[in-house]
Amino acid sequence: MFDDKKTYLNREAADKPLANPIKQETVDAARGYRMGRMREKLKEHDCAGILLYDPLNIRYATDTSNMQVWTMHNAARYCLIMNEGPCTIWEFQNCEHLAEGVDTVDEVRRAIHWFYFGAGEQVSDNAKKWAAEIHDIVKTQGGGNTRLAVDKLEPEGTFALSNLGLDLIEGQNLTENARKIKSSDELVLMDWTIKVAETGMWRMHAMSQAGRTENEAWAELHFENIRNGGEWIETRLLATGPRTNPWFHECSNRVMESGDIFSFDTDMVGPYGYCADISRAWTVDHTPPTDEQRRIYNVARAQVEFNADIIKAGMSFSEFNDKSWQIPDEFVANRYGVAVHGVGLCDEWPAIPNHPDYEADYGGMFEEGMVVCVESYTGSEGGREGVKLEIQCLVTEDGLKQLDTFPLEDW
């Protein structure tokens, strides 16, 4: 999007939202593809339907959303997709209008709350009413099939549905495998989120100044995401100086010091619900790196580039593990949890561990159309600083195609 750092810092448009290039027909085509993928998996698993509570699965299948973060921890909306029947959404009170005009949804009903916050002492009674409504649809629309896939369900609901004779099937295998292959229209939407994220990264780049706090710098990414129609950021993974080692300190009011390592992981759910999961590192005030900073940075970069170079469609995860970059002993203790993971509306299957943690029965292979993130964290045990790097790539028949364009440091 920007040719170099100076272009962004001098750009008059830096204080305006980006011009949105997405056409409605792209959104509509992505919706149709995703619902088709979900029903394809229902057929493969011989399920009458799937009951969804995870708001990301509901978004994937129907492209509807409602208070996404809040409904992750309050079971206030849910969706039932029948294999050869209707898609019904139950919405929070007075939210029924949110699905208007969305052709993936056949019917909207008012949700029955049986989580304690919403139901109090009526949890058990409400769960029975809720289960009866679900059971009625499966009975009338399922053609005699009682197998119902479920992505997330608490015990009270599980017992209520089972007591009515439904055969509950673990649904995360189904949803994750539906989501793993992206259509060309999905990639257009994802590319737009990445462009928004990278614009926010340039803002952070400009804000990486001694005397500023980590929180001030991190706010730049949120600002760019929200003003361009993005949704939320899943973590606050930005750290500087000694807070970069070990990794997973989230941003704080620490005042940055000139020459500190500045490293972050976007984990950004942007416009249209797609995720940009990108990590970079540089120095505060963009000072020349020390010899030690250069050393650990180039180890992290070597791991990412080596692993990205060997991945091809058809390669099993076990083969990747065997051929993957071997982390030097010095950095094993503080290694990152995964070498590669999938990404779509959020981090998705697979999550392939680094070689010290790999188990032979993990299973699976890279397939054309998957989008994966290749990453590294490099920091010595007891060392002062560490470096987190991550790139987002499309799996093609010829290897990986990197989707993000923000430059790595040439150290």
The CATH number linked to 116 is 3.40.350.10
* CB-based contact 91:189 (threshold 8 Å): no
* CB-based contact 197:278 (threshold 8 Å): yes
Radius of gyration of the chain, Cα coordinates, nearest whole angstrom: 23
Q: Using CA atoms, how far apart are residues 306 and 1, in angstroms rounded to an integer?
A: 26
175 and 223 part of one domain: no
Per-residue pLDDT of 23-33, as tens digits, reads 999 999 999 99
Per-residue pLDDT of 275-294, as tens digits, reads 999 999 999 999 999 999 99
Q: Does any domain span residue 11?
A: no
DSSP 9: H
218 and 359 part of one domain: yes
The percent of residues in the chain predicted with pLDDT above 90, rounded, is: 92
Please report which confidence band the pLDDT of residue 14 belongs to, taking 50, 70 and 90 as the band edges.
low
Last residue of a domain, one of 164, 179, 194: 179
Query: Nearest to residue 5, comparing CAs of 203, 279, 228, 261?
Result: 203
Please report which confidence band the pLDDT of residue 97 belongs to, taking 50, 70 and 90 as the band edges.
very high
Domain count, the chain: 2
Q: Using CA atoms, how far apart are residues 81 and 317, in angstroms rounded to an integer?
A: 31
Query: φ and ψ at 188, to 5 degrees?
Result: -65, -45
The CATH number linked to 288 is 3.90.230.10
For 105, residues 6+ apart whose C-beta sits below 8 A from its C-beta are: 62, 64, 87, 88, 89, 99
pLDDT of residue 363: 86
Q: Does any domain span residue 9?
A: no
Per-residue pLDDT of 290-323, as tens digits, reads 999 999 999 999 999 999 999 999 999 999 999 9
Residue 335 structure tokens: 């290694």
For residues 90-95, give the mean pLDDT: 94
Q: Does any domain span residue 133?
A: yes
DSSP 128: H
Q: Does any domain span residue 6?
A: no
For residues 330-348, give the mean pLDDT: 97
For residue 10, pLDDT over 60 is answered with no
Please report which confidence band the pLDDT of residue 11 belongs to, taking 50, 70 and 90 as the band edges.
very low
Q: Using CA atoms, how far apart are residues 308 and 325, in angstroms rounded to an integer?
A: 10
Q: Does any domain span residue 1?
A: no
Q: Using CA atoms, how far apart are residues 218 and 204, in angstroms rounded to an integer?
A: 7
pLDDT of residue 101: 87
Last residue of a domain, one of 149, 179, 209: 179
Last residue of a domain, one of 158, 179, 200: 179
For residues 68-75, give the mean pLDDT: 91
295 and 371 part of one domain: yes
Query: Nearest to residue 128, comparing CAs of 161, 150, 154, 151?
Result: 161
85 and 165 part of one domain: yes
pTM of the predicted model as reported, rounded to 2 decimal places: 0.94
256 and 127 part of one domain: no
174 and 188 part of one domain: no
For residue 2, pLDDT over 90 is answered with no
Q: Using CA atoms, how far apart are residues 366 and 310, in angstroms rounded to an integer?
A: 11
205 and 155 part of one domain: no
For residues 325-336, give the mean pLDDT: 97
307 and 165 part of one domain: no
343 and 370 part of one domain: yes
326 and 311 part of one domain: yes
* CB-based contact 290:259 (threshold 8 Å): yes
Q: Does any domain span residue 12?
A: no
| Mean pLDDT, the chain, integer | 95
Query: Nearest to residue 324, comparing CAs of 364, 277, 374, 280?
Result: 374
Domain residue limits at 380: 184-402
Please report which confidence band the pLDDT of residue 12 belongs to, taking 50, 70 and 90 as the band edges.
very low
197 and 139 part of one domain: no
Q: Does any domain span residue 71?
A: yes
For residues 258-266, give the mean pLDDT: 98
